[in-house]
Structure 1
Amino acid sequence: MGTNIFLIILAFILLIVVLSSFVTIQQGTIGVTTIFGKYNRILHPGLNWKIPLIEKIFRRISIQNRSVELEFQAITVDQANVYFKAMLLYSVWNQDEETIKNVAFKFMDERSFMQALIRTIEGSIRGFVATKRQSEVLGLRREITEHVKEQIDTTLEQWGFHLQDLQMNDITFDDAIMRSMAQVVASNNLKAAAENEGQALLITKTKAAEADGNAIKIAAEAERTAAQLRGQGVALFREEVAKGMTMAAKEMQQANLDTSVILFSMWTEAIKHFSENSKGNVIFLDGSADGMDQTMKQMMGMNKLMDPSQQKK
């Protein structure tokens, strides 16, 4: 009876030992084992065998990407407080044994590692911002990120990690500074709008002046052309009148008629034309004896000018 109980207990112990000799490592994880507190080897994902009771799992290290959000403060060279919000993405450098040993034994625990990582990034950013003015910081987002990446990547490699990405999600200042910056932006926008409006008004005025100038030039050219045409028309009219009067005078001379009749006819036709085309209602003519005598003398003078025989004398 006692022997059976002993055998049962022994079998149970052996079962426990056998079961404890196998360990499962999850995908995306590397196991680190120790024997009597000293590093022994690494275990890859899947079912692994280990020395029972002696070999222990010291740490399971994730080789997947990890992310952490950071919030911290820095001070510029002109004593302005700057508040940063950043996102850090990192991972184990590789799965080599030396790298895994570095990750497993460099820090006492994960908390110590995160504290060192955050303080290193904060120190790098604060050192960079301390050399810049408040007005420069917002425009240096990319430069700040590149500066931190350059410094933190080397440090992380010494710890067995690799920096995947660092993003500055938000950069803000104290409320008073933010209000003053908003006022500066608003005033600059108003200034730009005023300048644009002035430029637009200048362009409009210039175009209008050019249009007016072109219109004046076109009108002047048209008036000059019209004046030329009117002058040519008057000249042609006078030429035709002269030809007609000459022909009429010649015909009247051949018929032994007095050429003053032509002048009298022109005078009556002129009066008729005035009465038909004038807008007035009254035509004033000097009907006195002196007036008629003066008119006849003028007509006789015209007759002498038109008579070639009288011109020769």
Structure 2
Amino acid sequence: MLQYLVALIATAIFGYAVNSSVRVIDQGDEALVERLGKYRRTLRPGLRLVLPLVEKIAYVDTIRERVLDIPPQSVITNDNLTLQVDAVVYWQIIEMERAYYAIEDVGNAIDNIVLTSLRSEIGRLPMREVLSTKDEIDKALLKKLDEATSSWGVKVIRVEIQNIIFPEKVQAAMESERVASSEKKAKIEQAEGEKQAALAKARGQAESIELLSKTLNLRPDSPEFMQFLIAQNYLETNQKLSESANSKVLFMDPKAMSEALGELMGESPEYPEIQLKKPD
């Protein structure tokens, strides 16, 4: 009977020893082993053995990249405007031993450093520069976090400011400024378009006159060519007037046309009288 009892106790002790000494560390995790209360080694992923009774696994955590979301915080700019800013931090444990023994709560510590650095970086800038220098603020935050966490066995991969919320009055002023800027830009684009259209029209008219002078075999500055242009313009004007709902008939005698031609050629005759007569 005593032999059976001893065997049972021995089996139980053996089972406990095996169960407590064999550990499986998952992929992406690491574990810290302490022997008699003192750090002994770090266990990597896989099947690992721990000495029963004298060793224990003190801490297990992931070494994968993780995200720390910073909730909206009130920060004051250099020109005394209060903004609401939130951010996100991507970080990773690279030395499990230091991350566990060098700092009490590494995640909370990173959170506090981000808040302090965020207030410091935005506090030195006026409101108008906060948005335009967002990338520079992110880089400055990353640099400060790297310096502060270098002894903690963690690596801050990147920091990003997500949202910047301005006071309502400032938002209204910024929206008005944006609308005014858009309208100004639209007017400038319209004026530029009209300018280009006018230049294109002028070039087209010049090319048309040159082509017409070649077709008529006349110099563009000759009296005959000038007279032809005036006659052509006269006919086109009459055609447009006739197509109008309130049409009028324009009468100009040949003498008046000759005097107009003389004026174009450098003479100074009296202006001809143009009579407008309504149709019957």
TM-score normalized with structure 1 length? 0.62
Question: Counterpart in 1 of 2:83?
Answer: 82
Partner SS, residue 158 of structure 1: coil
1:106 is the counterpart of 2:102: yes
Distance 1:114 1:224, change over 3 A: same
* Superposition deviation, residue 136 in structure 1: 1.1
Distance 1:114 1:214, change over 3 A: same
Question: Counterpart in 1 of 2:223?
Answer: 224
Partner SS, residue 13 of structure 1: helix
Partner SS, residue 107 of structure 1: coil
CA contact (8 A) 1:78 1:134 kept: yes
Question: Counterpart in 1 of 2:113?
Answer: 120
More strand by share: 2
CA contact (8 A) 2:102 2:151 kept: no
TM-score normalized with structure 2 length? 0.69
Choose 1 or 2 for highest CA Rg: 1
Give the superposed CA RMSD: 2.8
Distance 1:199 1:38, change over 3 A: same
Question: Counterpart in 2 of 1:65?
Answer: 65
1:173 is the counterpart of 2:173: no
1:20 is the counterpart of 2:20: yes
Task: Quote the Cα distance in structure 1 between the aligned partners of 2:109 and 2:194.
Answer: 61
Deviations 1:78-116 (A, max 9, x none): 1222222322111123xxxxx3321121223xxx32221
Partner SS, residue 221 of structure 1: coil
Partner SS, residue 133 of structure 2: helix
CA contact (8 A) 1:121 1:152 kept: yes
CA contact (8 A) 2:33 2:40 kept: yes
Which residues of structure 2 form unaligned runs of 5+? 214-218, 228-280
Question: Counterpart in 1 of 2:262?
Answer: none
CA contact (8 A) 1:61 1:104 kept: no
Distance 1:223 1:25, change over 3 A: same
Partner SS, residue 80 of structure 2: coil
Letter in 1 for 2:189: N
Aligned positions of 1:87-166 closer than 5 A: 87-93=88-94, 99-108=95-104, 112-166=105-159
Question: Counterpart in 1 of 2:270?
Answer: none
CA contact (8 A) 1:103 1:160 kept: yes
Letter in 2 for 1:130: G
What is the number of equivalent residue pairs in this alignment?
Answer: 220
Distance 1:117 1:221, change over 3 A: same
Question: Counterpart in 2 of 1:245?
Answer: none
Distance 1:225 1:67, change over 3 A: same
CA contact (8 A) 1:70 1:87 kept: yes
More helix by share: 1
Task: Quote the Cα distance in structure 1 between the aligned partners of 2:190 and 2:46.
Answer: 72
Which residues of structure 1 form unaligned runs of 5+? 94-98, 229-313
Distance 1:214 1:25, change over 3 A: closer
Identity %, equivalent residues? 21
Partner SS, residue 59 of structure 1: strand
Question: Counterpart in 2 of 1:48?
Answer: 48
* Superposition deviation, residue 57 in structure 1: 0.6
Task: Quote the Cα distance in structure 2 between the aligned partners of 1:213 and 1:221.
Answer: 10
Letter in 2 for 1:78: D
Question: Counterpart in 1 of 2:10?
Answer: 10
Task: Quote the Cα distance in structure 2 between the aligned partners of 1:216 and 1:209.
Answer: 11
Letter in 1 for 2:167: D
